């Protein structure tokens, strides 16, 4: 038998015919063989009304799983014709307030509360979340340096590419929940890039304020390119991101802030029904906008050592004021090396683990923002 199911006569070359004509349909070839097409499959139909819980399937191999798929839980709540929000946590695996807030919201919501469509991904990198690591243990990649992604790359790069080409185009609003992870402790805040498009910027400012955090933070990309929010911003989305603290012990107040803030953001942007609350409604002072747009605002350990923070998060600091100092356990008599604020500002982030290696970011000094740039 030949592979077309017929007997070939001796000396003749049998034509190879398809057993399934669909395989040779031109559209099929175009879609399935394109190097740009994502190999990621979804078990949910993003257009179907109602609530669906499913998974994204990302193909990968390991020694005991040649045809394995990494399953990435996704929930779709499709309630009507309002805007679509894509809400994610676990971009970095050791940042947990976002995943917790998404899991709680997912179970609390009733479909009738959803005016538009909500796509919830509590753990963008499940292996990293389970391992409590910033980088994926599958490929060593940093999800937030992997955009726009690669459909033929590693698992992390395939997920990034799927977001870039499938999920971001569906979304009006992209929410990416972070903390400083184990390495950095932030004063819990919402943050954003100062995008060039003023209409997009205005909507992002509104969404950032809706977190009702004490500080809102304009940040710079000091550690590489390929960030998730940058790709979503490039596609014109309303991108809403956070740094909800850091470290391994998450205080209950930070969980509460993340959960109430997330719901308030989605109400503000017309995705959920509910009562929108401002800080004034809560009896709080207005959010303080700060920025760290200069590379000098990020302070790096000049040497390896034992870091002692000298200033509490959220405190104002003067120019040249020490914010921390490095001790040297192998050289106890050596005077500590100070890490100073280059200019006056507020300490918005500090080092997590006390032992630091040369070049670790140990402090972030932020400065008050001219309100005109937010208009």
The residue ranges that bind Zn ion (CB under 5 A) are 92, 95, 178
Q: 3-class DSSP state for residue 186?
A: strand
Smallest gap from Cβ 52 to Zn ion, in A, equals 28
Residue with Cβ nearer Zn ion (232 or 310) = 232
Smallest gap from Cβ 361 to Zn ion, in A, equals 13
Q: Which of 346, 218, 213, 345 shows the shortest CA–CA distance to 287?
A: 213
Instruction: Judge whether 364 and 299 are in contact, CB under 8 Å.
Output: yes
Q: 3-class DSSP state for residue 85?
A: strand
12 CB neighbour count, 10 Å cutoff: 7
Smallest gap from Cβ 50 to Zn ion, in A, equals 32
* Rounded-to-integer distance, Cα 232 and Cα 173, Å: 9
* Rounded-to-integer distance, Cα 300 and Cα 260, Å: 34
Helix (H) or strand (E) segment spanning residue 102: helix 97-108
Residue with Cβ nearer Zn ion (156 or 325) = 156
* Rounded-to-integer distance, Cα 215 and Cα 189, Å: 5
User: In this structure, what are the phi and psi dihedrals at residue 43, rounded to the nearest 5 degrees?
Assistant: -90, 0
Residue with Cβ nearer Zn ion (90 or 305) = 90
Smallest gap from Cβ 242 to Zn ion, in A, equals 9
Residue with Cβ nearer Zn ion (133 or 321) = 133
The pair of structure tokens assigned to 72 is 């990435």
Smallest gap from Cβ 143 to Zn ion, in A, equals 9
Smallest gap from Cβ 354 to Zn ion, in A, equals 21
The pair of structure tokens assigned to 68 is 């394995």
Residue with Cβ nearer Zn ion (95 or 297) = 95
Burial class of 218 by CB neighbour count within 10 A (0 to 12, 13 to 18, 19+): buried
Instruction: Judge whether 173 and 85 are in contact, CB under 8 Å.
Output: yes
Q: Which of 233, 269, 232, 264 shows the shortest CA–CA distance to 116?
A: 269
Residue with Cβ nearer Zn ion (211 or 374) = 211
Smallest gap from Cβ 31 to Zn ion, in A, equals 34
Residue with Cβ nearer Zn ion (92 or 367) = 92
Helix and strand element counts for the chain (H, E): 8, 19
Instruction: Judge whether 212 and 261 are in contact, CB under 8 Å.
Output: yes
Residue with Cβ nearer Zn ion (37 or 145) = 145
Smallest gap from Cβ 180 to Zn ion, in A, equals 7
């Amino acid at each position: 038998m030949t592979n077309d199911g017929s007997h070939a006569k001796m000396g003749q070359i049998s034509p190879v015919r398809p057993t399934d004509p669909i395989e040779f349909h031109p559209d099929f070839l175009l879609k399935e063989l394109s190097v740009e097409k994502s190999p990621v499959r979804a078990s949910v139909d993003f257009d179907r009304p109602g609530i669906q819980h499913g998974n994204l399937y990302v193909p990968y191999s390991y020694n005991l799983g040649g045809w394995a798929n990494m399953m990435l839980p996704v929930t779709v709540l499709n309630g009507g014709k309002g805007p679509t929000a894509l809400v994610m946590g676990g971009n970095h695996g050791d940042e947990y307030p976002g995943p917790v807030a998404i899991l709680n919201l997912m179970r609390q919501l009733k479909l009738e509360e959803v005016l538009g469509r909500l796509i919830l991904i509590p753990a963008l990198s499940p292996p990293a979340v389970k391992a409590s690591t910033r980088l994926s243990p599958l490929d060593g990649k940093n999800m937030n340096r992997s955009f726009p992604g690669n459909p033929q790359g590693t698992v992390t790069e395939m997920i990034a590419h799927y977001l870039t080409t499938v999920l971001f185009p569906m979304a009006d609003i992209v929410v990416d929940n972070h903390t400083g992870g184990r390495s950095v402790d932030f004063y819990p805040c919402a943050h954003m890039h100062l995008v060039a498009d003023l209409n997009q910027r205005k909507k992002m400012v509104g969404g950032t304020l809706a977190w009702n955090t004490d500080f809102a933070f304009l940040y710079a990309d000091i550690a590489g390119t390929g960030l998730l929010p940058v790709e979503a911003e490039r596609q014109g989305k309303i991108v809403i991101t956070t740094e909800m603290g850091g470290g391994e012990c998450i205080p209950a107040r930070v969980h509460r802030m993340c959960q109430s803030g997330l719901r308030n953001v989605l109400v503000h942007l017309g995705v959920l029904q509910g009562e929108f609350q401002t800080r004034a409604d809560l009896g709080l002072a207005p959010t303080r906008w700060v920025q760290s747009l200069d590379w000098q605002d990020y302070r790096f350990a000049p040497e390896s050592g034992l870091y002692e923070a000298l200033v509490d998060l959220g405190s104002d600091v003067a120019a040249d004021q020490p914010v921390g100092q490095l001790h040297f356990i192998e050289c106890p008599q050596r005077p500590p090396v100070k890490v100073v604020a280059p200019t006056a500002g507020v300490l918005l982030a500090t080092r997590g683990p006390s032992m630091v290696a040369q070049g670790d970011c140990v402090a972030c000094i932020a400065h008050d923002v001219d309100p005109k740039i937010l208009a």
